Amino acid sequence: MDLIHREGLARVAKFSTPHGIISTPTIMPVINPNIRTISIEDMKKMGMEAIITNSYIIRRNDDLRNHALEKGLHDLMGFDGPIMTDSGTFQSYVYGDIEYGNIEIVDFQEKIGSDISTILDIFSVPEDSHDKAEKAVDETYRRMTELSGERQTILAGPIQGSIYNDLREKSAKLMSGTKAGYLPIGGVVPLLEQYRYGKLCEIIINSKLNASFDKPIHLFGGGHPMFMGMAVLLGVDIFDSASYVKYARDGRLLFQEGTRDLKELMEFPMWSPIYGKYTSKELRESPVEERTKVLAHHNLFTIFMELKEIRERIYEQTLWQYVEEKSRAHPALYAAFKNILKYKGKIEPFFELYRKPPLYYFDESSECNPYFERLKKFISGNPRFEGQGNHVPEGAWQPSRLSGKFIKEQYEKSSSPYFIRWMGIDVPVELEEAYPIEQIIDTAHYMEYPSHEVPEISPSKKEKIRDFDLEKIRTLCDFQFGRGTGREVFPDGSEITKSRATGRIRTVSMNGKFLATMRAHDGFLGLNIEGGKRLLNARKYPSNRVVVNEDSAEYNAKGYNVFRKFVIDFDPDIIPLNDVLVVDSEDTLLAVGRAMLSGIEMATYSGGMVVSVNHHTKER
């Protein structure tokens, strides 16, 4: 997987196959080789890049089998792009044992030229006991390991485990350690049909967090647009579904927020490809075959429209907000969103240090957002913020501005911590400009309250005992790089320059050497080389580090970006978009740059850029 853009676990990426690249997130429409409801060309116009079909159906039919063996799967399907094949697992579950074994069906998929071939796994259902589900996990793993030799096809190793989180975790770890290059999450269609989205979210989370991040996560059968945003938020890359046809046969239309029955629909939306071509009455009265084809076209178009919206949301870094908004569309989705919040501590490390748009505050559920969680984790148990604290008086603080008089007369003449009461959290006043404290939009912006004037503060005869600007950058440093680093990186005597126009901190230096800048767009620190050296001395190995081998060290010291294949060690607690130190095996500083991956992800990615270098120690 080549990562292009990200928001937490969601990613826009590219996955290479023998017949081309698949851009994620996307869906593979299920195509029955005997029935073509929508043409390949029409699917391509909607955005289709890959399809999935069933090798078991092809093998059982003499004409299909001979065509596929003689001319190849792609000729049979009339498609020159990536094709994935299923193995017959579902048929085996429904009808009992099928006439082909695992090795035999995988060999067949490879012979006909499938790009992604699925092993004959054991299908588990929600009603299975833990013991039965575990046996299915073990047998599925055994079947993967029995496939010997190099393959010309990418092997898909399904993650099974029914509704049991520990088994999904086990299966994900087992499959990630095999030659499987593709990881579908199986056995979830019954949950989708029953609207058990909360349990499905648990399955996705426990599968994703224990799988190799370098391999695509595919959700078998998860093609309803109302759930796709939530699934992508939790790390699903690729979907497949025949729902676009199945719903059409039943006279139902897919919409981004749910499903509607043609019998009850008065008008088609203007965005639908069938708008203006038919009335709902005309379609209800049309022959079944024609109606099915028209509704299937609408349904598949809706799916791809939702995927385009999801991709755009990842680029904007507003997918969490989109999912939070959309969860109000159905009680099952809202319950699922609440279930996601239970895992906020596990998913927080994957979210970037900051994001481009502001954070939206809707209600108390917004307080479980990963950015809130990160703030609370920093504040909780931190000795700097314990004991008797003070709150900035109401009216003295507004986003992006603290009263200068308040700072002069109160903060700088006191050693006690000061807090802003912010969205239900007591936030250290020093973080006032950092994301998301300053960059938030909440209901208070749009509600009428009495205006408050900045309170009058009586003059104090106390001497100044601390500097607010210095404490601000020290607190930011502690937040970004670990408790206690602020005083080490920015000692007494640090020189701070501020913008004449805004009064904000711009740069920090020591003895004429730049240590860091304070970025205007997110309120965080960007380290220079001198600041990196001080951080290196303040933190023990491997904290805040990405270690490269000798082949890469010279290039990184000259400002070239760091790629995963040259990385030999790293701090597992790195979060994306935070500054990191690039060092060699002797712990010599080479460069300072911005991490593209979390430390957890670095453990399993095999390629791609991991650090975008900003400052380096040598000239090119």
DSSP string, 102-160: HHHHHHHHHHTT-SEEE-------TTS-HHHHHHHHHHHHHHHHT--S--SSEEE--B-
Give pLDDT tens digits for 10-33.
999 999 999 999 999 999 999 998
Q: Which value, to the nearest 10 degrees, does the dihedral of the CA atoms of residues 205, 206, 207, 208 take?
A: 50
In this prediction, residue 456 carries a pLDDT of: 57
CB 254 within 8 A of CB 261: no
pLDDT at position 414, please?
Answer: 87
List, for residues 203-257, the tens digit of each pLDDT value.
Answer: 999 999 999 999 999 999 988 999 999 999 999 999 998 999 999 999 999 999 9
% of the chain surpassing 90 pLDDT? 79
Domains and CATH numbers, the chain: 2-342 (3.20.20.105), 348-457 (no CATH), 471-616 (2.30.130.10)
Rounded Cα–Cα distance for residues 51 and 293 (Å): 18
Q: CA–CA distance from 67 to each of 40, 64, 229 (Å)?
A: 18, 5, 38
542 upstream amide cis, omega within 30 of 0: yes
Which pLDDT band holds residue 103 (cuts at 50, 70, 90)? very high
**Alpha-carbon distances, residue 59 vs 40, 321, 335, 338 (angstroms):** 22, 46, 42, 44
Which of 2-6, 374-378, 389-393 is the least confident region? 389-393
* 88 pLDDT tier (thresholds 50, 70, 90): confident
Claim: this prediction has a pTM higher than 0.85: yes
Q: Is the pLDDT score of 485 beyond 70? A: yes
Lowest mean pLDDT among 371-380, 411-420, 516-525: 411-420
Residue whose structure tokens are 């007369």? 409
For residues 98 and 511, the model is more confident at 511
Active site residue: 42, 62, 80, 86, which one? Answer: 86
Task: Establish whether 86 is a catalytic residue.
Answer: yes
What is the reported pLDDT for 442? 65
